[in-house]
């Protein structure tokens, strides 16, 4: 994980065995890819999402999301999002609801209704087909109202569409987005069911759990597997009040401490620890953000403005913390506070079970 930029999470941890869970190791991993002003995220069900943006330096931010599920006869859903980050005077002057005209290479392709409450709308099929065709080559793609206009960059789109077709095994088929062929869709990759993870109910904290944090043997076990980049964790700084503890099971606790601090991100270390001597400690991560109700969460800004994030969740299954979600919010393009989209590479269905 990059402490000062996006934390793109590897799915290699899927190879771990998961008790009472559909095996994630047998499922394909999601992928992410970007080129110039376009990016791709495909999740482990083989659903792909391609997002394009305005070119850097453009005053009016805009993005389009192309979503396609895996399997034959799946249409592309195209969604337009008008940028709303910051003090945009031109946008503020528009009425609560307005229409924008869509043009590709000066050809008008109808209008779209925009509500300022979410600034997001879906393209119709004709507009979607025209947009995908235009992305094959240099094109001027614009939405406008009066003198206000939003221009979508085509730089990188061809590479992203090709990558999407490759992941969904549509290359050379009649339904390919970039290089169509004569093959039918009989052999395209099918959609996969979302893996199920059974989340164990965590035990209630014991009254004496916090006393464990004073134990020098336990503290030494925590420090034993800390890496050099954990600048906030040293023997001098490792005090009882710098540690947090939560009970996981009858004989296991989760302990956390601040590991590192960057300009606008922070990483916390988490260990699974035996609650009795010799206090064996398993370091899980040094880059987490928080823990609650059996879930370790990760959230890192791509930059200080907060217009792009990466996130991950790991869920306690009674033995381990299993990856249950991973996503980014898209490129740092000033589309919206918190990011433009939800671009997952890992999705699961989490079901709660008892002890």
Three-class SS of the chain: CCCCCCCCCCCHHHHCCCCCCCCCCCCCCCEEEEECCEEEEECCCCCEEEEEECCCCCCCCEEEEEEECCCCCCCCEEEEEECCCCCCHHHHCCCCEEEEEEEECCEEEEEEEEECCCCEEECCHHHHHHHHHHCCCCCCEEEEECCEEEEECCCCHHHHHHHHHHHCCCCCECCCCCCCCCECCCCCCCCCCCCEEEEECCCCCCCCHHHHHHCHHHHHHHHHCCCCCCCCCCCCCCCHHHEEEEECCCCEEEEEEEEEECCCCEEEEEEEEECCCCCCEEEEEEEECEEECCEEEEEEECCCCCCCEEEEEEEECCCCEEEEEEEECCCCCCCCCCCCCCEEEEECEEEEECC
Residue 3 has pLDDT above 70, yes or no: no
Number of domains, the chain: 2
Q: Report pLDDT for 232.
A: 80
Q: 8 lies in a domain?
A: no
**Cβ neighbourhood burial of 118 (10 Å; 0-12, 13-18, 19+):** exposed
Q: 172 lies in a domain?
A: no
Residue 19 has pLDDT above 70, yes or no: no
Q: 182 lies in a domain?
A: no
Q: Report pLDDT for 86.
A: 66
Are 229 and 333 in the same domain? yes
Are 102 and 234 in the same domain? no
Q: Report pLDDT for 146.
A: 93
Are 208 and 312 in the same domain? yes
Are 162 and 200 in the same domain? no
> Quick check: 239 and 229 in contact, CB under 8 A?
no
Are 218 and 336 in the same domain? yes
Q: 175 lies in a domain?
A: no
Decide which of 126, 146, 167 is a domain's last residue. 167
Q: What is the pLDDT of residues 227-242, one digit of tens each?
A: 777 888 766 567 667 8
Arithmetic mean of pLDDT over the chain: 90
Q: What is the pLDDT of residues 331-347, one digit of tens each?
A: 999 999 999 999 999 99
CATH number for the domain that contains residue 37: 2.60.40
> Quick check: 314 and 350 in contact, CB under 8 A?
no
Are 131 and 241 in the same domain? no
Q: 132 lies in a domain?
A: yes
Q: Report pLDDT for 347.
A: 98
Provide the pairing of β-strand 141-145 with 148-152.
antiparallel
Residue 202 has pLDDT above 80, yes or no: yes
- Confidence bin at 203 (pLDDT 50/70/90): very high
> Quick check: 251 and 242 in contact, CB under 8 A?
no
- Confidence bin at 226 (pLDDT 50/70/90): confident
Are 225 and 297 in the same domain? yes
Q: Which residues are 142's β-sheet partners? A: 103, 151
Range of the domain at 322: 196-353
Are 118 and 226 in the same domain? no
Residue 269 has pLDDT above 60, yes or no: yes
Are 163 and 203 in the same domain? no
Residue 270 has pLDDT above 80, yes or no: yes
Q: Is the full-model pTM beyond 0.85?
A: yes
**How far is Cα 224 from Cα 230, in angstroms, rounded to an integer?**
12
Both tokens assigned to 289? 């953000």
Q: Report pLDDT for 14.
A: 27
- Confidence bin at 10 (pLDDT 50/70/90): very low
Q: 6 lies in a domain?
A: no
> Quick check: 225 and 283 in contact, CB under 8 A?
yes
Are 224 and 341 in the same domain? yes
Are 221 and 328 in the same domain? yes
Q: 21 lies in a domain?
A: no
Q: 349 lies in a domain?
A: yes
Both tokens assigned to 257? 């401490």
């Amino acid at each position: 994980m990059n402490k000062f930029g996006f934390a793109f999470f590897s799915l290699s941890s899927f190879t771990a065995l998961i008790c009472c869970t559909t095996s994630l190791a047998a499922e394909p991993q999601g992928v992410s890819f970007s080129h110039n002003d376009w990016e791709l995220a495909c999740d482990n069900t083989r659903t792909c999402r391609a997002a394009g943006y305005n070119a850097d330096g453009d005053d009016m931010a805009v993005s389009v999301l192309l979503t396609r599920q895996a399997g034959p006869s799946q249409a592309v859903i195209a969604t337009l999002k008008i940028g709303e980050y910051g003090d945009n005077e031109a946008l503020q002057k528009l009425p609560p609801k307005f229409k924008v005209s869509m043009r590709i290479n000066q050809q008008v392709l109808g209008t779209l209704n925009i509500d300022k409450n979410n600034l997001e709308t879906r393209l119709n099929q004709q507009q979607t087909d025209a947009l995908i065709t235009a992305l094959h080559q240099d094109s001027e793609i614009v939405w406008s109202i009066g003198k206000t206009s939003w221009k979508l960059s085509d730089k990188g789109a061809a590479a992203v569409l090709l990558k999407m077709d490759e992941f969904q095994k549509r290359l050379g088929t009649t339904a390919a987005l970039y290089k169509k062929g004569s093959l039918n869709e009989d052999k395209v990759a099918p959609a996969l069911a979302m893996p199920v993870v059974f989340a164990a109910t965590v035990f209630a904290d014991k009254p004496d759990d916090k006393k464990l944090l004073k134990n020098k043997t336990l503290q030494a076990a925590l420090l034993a597997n800390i890496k050099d980049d954990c600048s906030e964790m040293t023997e001098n700084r490792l005090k009882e009040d710098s540690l947090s503890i939560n009970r996981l099971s009858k004989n296991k606790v989760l302990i956390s401490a601040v590991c590192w601090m960057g300009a606008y991100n922070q990483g916390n270390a988490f260990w699974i620890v035996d609650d009795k001597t010799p206090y064996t400690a398993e370091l899980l991560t040094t880059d987490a953000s928080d823990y609650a109700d059996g879930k370790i969460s990760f959230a890192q800004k791509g930059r200080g403005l907060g217009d792009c994030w990466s996130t991950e969740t790991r869920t306690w299954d009674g033995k381990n913390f299993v990856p249950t979600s991973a996503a980014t919010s898209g490129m740092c393009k000033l589309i919206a506070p918190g990011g433009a989209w939800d671009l997952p590479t890992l999705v699961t269905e989490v079901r709660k079970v008892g002890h």
